[in-house]
Structures are given as C-alpha cells and as structure tokens.
C-alpha cells in the first residue's frame, strides 16, 4: 500500500482555499463576494466549491459502500481543489486521456492510484501512460489490444463489458463495452498477445434510476470471471459510475450483489468511477441578472443572466425534468407573499438554446439582482465554453475552519 499524501504535499500555499472563520459559512462567503462584486460594478458569475460538502459525500460513500474504493472520474469536474481534496482523502482517479493523467500526476497522485478508463485510446496517450507508470487501463475490443501490446505491453488490463443501461439517462453501452458473447474471444486474443487481464469493468450509464441494473451488471461481470479462461487471475471488479449526486439509493442492492457474487473472501478488489456523485452537490453558482424584458405585463417575464448553458450550466441542456434547476434569489424577497410571475431565465449569449428555465415561477427580479443555483458541479464547468466572449465563471473554494483542521490532523 502506498503512503497517503500529507497535507503539505497536497495543499501548497493552501491552493487558494478560503478557510471560513468560526462564525462563517459558505452562504456568508457568497454574501460577501456579491457585496464585493457589487461595489466594483461587476456582474461576473462565480461558483463556490464547498469542500465540507465534498468531504461529507466521501464519508457517506465510505459508510454506504465500504468495500468499494472510489476512483473519482476527473472528466466530471477537474477543478484542482476537488482533485487535491480527493487525493488527500485517499481516493483514486479515473482518467480518460493523457491530459487528465498529466493533470492528476502533477498534483502528486501516484500512478498506481489511476485507472485509464477509456476503451478507445489514442496510441500516443497509451505510450504516455506507459512512460508514467500508469498501468491499469480498460479495453473492449481486439484492435485496442493490438495497440496496447505495441504501446504498453506490461499494462494491467480491465475488460469493460456492455451492460443493460436502459434505466440510465446517459446511456454508454451503445458506444463502449464488449458484448458478453465476445468476451471469450477477447480474452483469447489478449492471451495470444501475451497481455495481462486483471479484471472486469462496466458502466451502468449516468443518472441510473434502477438499482437492479447494478445487480444484473455485477452478475454479468461474475459470469466473465467464471470463464476462468487461459489462466488469467482476475482480481479486480470495477463497477463504474452512474451514482446519483443527491442520495444513495442503491447501496443495499450493490452491497448485496457484491456479497453474493464477489464475497469478501474471494479477495477481489472492488473499485468504482463516480463522477457526478462527488461533484454535483459541491458547487453553487451565483449569476447576475444582466437584462430584463417584460413580454407583456402580467404575462411573461424574461431575465438574462451572466452565466448560461454555454458556461457553467451546460448540463441543463440535457435535463428533461424541469425541476432539476431551481434558481433562487440571493437577496431576501421583500415579503414571502410577494407575487410570483411566470418567467423565462436565459443565459447571456445570442443563441436561442441558451435557456436555463422556462415557465418558472419567481418573484419579480431586477437588473443587478443575483440568483443562486445549487448542485451545478457535475459536467458543467468541464464542458463550459467562452462562446460569445463570455468568460468562464471564477471558482472559489471554501472550507470551514474545523474541517480544515481535521483534515490537517488526519493526514499527519
Ligand atoms: N467512468 C466512465 C468510463 C465514464 O464514461 C463516466 C461518465 O461518462 C464516468 C465514469 C462517470 O460517470 P458518473 O458521473 O455518472 O458517475
């Protein structure tokens, strides 16, 4: 087992983290920041990364899925403070490319704590992983095995299987994963090439809504372990991502399936690649009302914010549940009974798809007001652009004094 990094390794100069004094909270930090921006006549949007929330999510993971080591999916949100915190907490990292591998290595992550979890890799990225000692990587096809045998013959390969992802919002099995009928041939091919296959992985798809999908996928992975083909010693099961960012509805089913198909005594190491689970609830966006139009009085209000779907709110484009994004006014409404108007809230760009919410009931807003939107950490900033010349929002990381000291003590 490699030694856990110390806080000095992972937080050079506190890395721009705001340590909240005893009285303060993330909400108060947002209040202060808004006052400061108002005093400078700035409408620049900003995000607050609450490290206490990130740490709570990790503690929850440890208590709900104690057998499963998380390898955080960097693609979901690669903000440096997120990566540094998770490294300090001892998670591994799922990287999708040379760029992500290089980013986490530069933060002091050990190569053995990285899985290169992409089944269709550029050869130059495989060579880079090899040179850096990143050995664990996924595959799902013979062509990929050929590339790995040329570029990283000592790799420890994980066979990604396609699973039933019909209960997930983002379905990945149409693009990745070997069908169960092809796994035998793939393992033969790996053996012919002298490659080492150490385990099986799957990804149930993002925003999975059915726990039984996980159970079936774990059973499918077991069936590949049971092929006992060609002397491979499988020792790793990777149950991928797909976990909700809000709660933990599937742990009972997952733990039950693991105990049934991969009992503790089997010695199989179980890992996962959660992205949304860690990132979603840890970020809040503050955006300014930069413009306002009344389509016709009493009918429809239109507001334009300083951030939108080409910026931090990219994931809104995919939402089907319109209740998923719920902007709320930062200033106190004059009165709780204040009248609410049917409103459309747009992002700042000229594109008509830059719409944040439609038919939204909210009190009347004014130019210069600030709206807050919680739970925007997953697949927002990582996909954001500077379309129309609007800059990406700044990110401020905050942590309570107590948590900061607990972290420091626990890592010495
Ligand atoms: N692992 C792989 C290979 C992925 O493609 C993804 C998301 O696309 C993830 C992990 C993270 O998934 P999620 O954010 O749903 O946990």
Q: What pLDDT is recorded for position 278?
A: 96
Q: Which residue has the tokens 């937080």?
A: 11
Residue 333 in this model has a pLDDT that exceeds 70: no
Residue 136 in this model has a pLDDT that exceeds 60: yes
Q: Retrieve residue 267's tokens.
A: 């010695």
Q: What pLDDT is recorded for position 338?
A: 82
Rounded to an integer, the average pLDDT of 297-317 is 88
CATH class of 65-278: alpha beta
Select 34-50+281-402's CATH number: 3.40.1160.10, 2.40.37.10, 3.30.70.360, 3.20.10.10: 2.40.37.10
Q: How does the average pLDDT of the chain come out, rounded? A: 89
Check: complex ipTM more than 0.95: yes
302 touches 293 (CB < 8 A): yes
**Nearest residue to 159 via CA among 174, 180, 175:** 180
Q: DSSP string of 271-331?
A: EE--SHHHHGGGEEEEEEEEEEEEEETTTEEEEEES--TTTTTGGGGG---GGG---EESS
Distance (angstroms) between ligand 1 centre and the Cα of 238 equals 12
Which residue CA neighbors atom 3 of ligand 1 most closely?
117
Worst-scoring range by mean pLDDT, 12-16, 163-167, 264-268, 388-392? 12-16
Q: What percent of the chain has pLDDT over 70?
A: 92
Q: What pLDDT is recorded for position 123?
A: 97
**Nearest residue to 214 via CA among 263, 176, 256:** 256
| Residues of each domain in the chain carrying CATH 2.40.37.10 | 34-50+281-402
Residue 152 in this model has a pLDDT that exceeds 90: yes
Residue 319 in this model has a pLDDT that exceeds 80: no
Q: What pLDDT is recorded for position 54?
A: 96
Q: Is the CB of 183 under 6 A from ligand 1?
A: no
pLDDT digits over 224-262, tens only? Answer: 998 866 678 899 999 999 888 877 778 999 999 999 999
Q: What pLDDT is recorded for position 293?
A: 92
CA–CA distance, 265 with 9 (Å, rounded to integer): 35
Which residue CA neighbors atom 9 of ligand 1 most closely?
241
Q: What pLDDT is recorded for position 289?
A: 98
Q: What pLDDT is recorded for position 21?
A: 81
| Residues of each domain in the chain carrying CATH 3.20.20.10 | 65-278
pLDDT digits over 66-91, tens only? Answer: 999 999 999 999 999 999 999 999 99
Q: Three-class SS of residue 362? A: strand
The minimum-distance atom of ligand 1 relative to the CA of 379 is 14
Q: What pLDDT is recorded for position 1?
A: 45
b/e 260-285 (16+ beta carbons within 10 angstroms → b):
ebbeeeeebebbbbbbbbbbbbbbbb
373 touches 357 (CB < 8 A): no
Q: Which residue has the tokens 């053996």?
A: 191
CA–CA distance, 286 with 45 (Å, rounded to integer): 6
Which of 158, 170, 176, 206 is the pocket-test mutation for ligand 1 (most atoms within 8 Å of CB)? 206
Rounded to an integer, the average pLDDT of 355-362 is 92
User: pTM for this one?
Assistant: 0.93
Contacts of 233 (CB under 8 A, 6+ apart): 198
Worst-scoring range by mean pLDDT, 34-38, 279-283, 399-403? 399-403
Q: What pLDDT is recorded for position 170?
A: 73
Residue 412 in this model has a pLDDT that exceeds 50: no
Q: What percent of the chain has pLDDT over 90?
A: 70
Distance (angstroms) between ligand 1 centre and the Cα of 188 equals 28
**Nearest residue to 306 via CA among 60, 82, 116, 37:** 37
Distance (angstroms) between ligand 1 centre and the Cα of 272 equals 10
Which positions are annotated as active-site residues? 350
């Amino acid at each position: 087992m490699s030694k856990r990094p110390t806080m000095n390794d992972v937080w050079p100069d506190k890395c721009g983290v705001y340590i909240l004094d005893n009285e303060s909270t993330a909400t108060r930090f947002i209040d202060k920041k808004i006052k400061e921006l108002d005093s400078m006549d700035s409408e620049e949007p900003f995000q607050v990364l609450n490290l206490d929330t990130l740490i709570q999510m990790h503690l929850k993971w440890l208590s709900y899925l104690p057998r499963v080591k998380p390898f955080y999916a960097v693609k979901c949100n690669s903000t440096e403070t997120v990566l540094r915190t998770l490294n300090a907490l001892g998670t591994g990292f799922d990287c999708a490319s040379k760029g992500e591998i290089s980013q986490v290595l530069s933060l002091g992550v050990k190569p053995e704590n990285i899985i290169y979890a992409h089944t269709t890799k550029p050869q130059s990225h495989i060579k880079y992983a090899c040179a850096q000692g990143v050995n664990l990587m996924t595959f799902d096809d013979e062509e990929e095995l050929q590339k790995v045998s040329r570029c990283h013959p000592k790799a420890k390969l994980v066979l990604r299987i396609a699973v039933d992802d019909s209960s997930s919002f983002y379905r990945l099995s149409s693009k990745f994963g070997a069908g169960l009928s092809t796994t035998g041939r793939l393992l033969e091919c790996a053996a012919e090439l002298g490659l080492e296959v150490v385990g099986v992985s799957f990804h149930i798809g993002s925003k999975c809504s059915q726990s039984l999908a996980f159970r079936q996928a774990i059973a499918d992975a077991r069936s590949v372990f049971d092929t006992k083909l060609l002397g491979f010693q499988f020792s790793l099961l990777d149950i991928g991502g797909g976990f909700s960012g809000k709660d933990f509805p599937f742990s009972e089913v997952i733990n039950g399936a693991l105990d049934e198909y991969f009992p503790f005594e089997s010695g199989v190491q179980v890992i996962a690649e959660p992205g949304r689970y860690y990132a979603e609830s840890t970020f809040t966006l503050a955006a300014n009302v930069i413009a306002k139009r009344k389509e016709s009085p009493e009918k429809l209000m239109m507001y334009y914010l300083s951030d939108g779907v080409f910026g931090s709110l990219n994931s809104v484009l995919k939402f089907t549940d319109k209740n998923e994004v719920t902007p709320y006014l930062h200033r106190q409404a004059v009165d709780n009974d204040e009248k609410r108007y049917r409103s459309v809230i747009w992002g700042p760009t000229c594109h008509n798809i830059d719409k944040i919410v439609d038919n939204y009931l909210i009190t009347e807003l004014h130019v210069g007001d600030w709206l807050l939107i919680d739970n925007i950490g997953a697949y927002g900033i990582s996909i954001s652009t500077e379309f129309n010349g609007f800059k990406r929002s700044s990110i401020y990381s905050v942590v309570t004094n107590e948590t900061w000291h607990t972290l420091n003590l626990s890592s010495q």
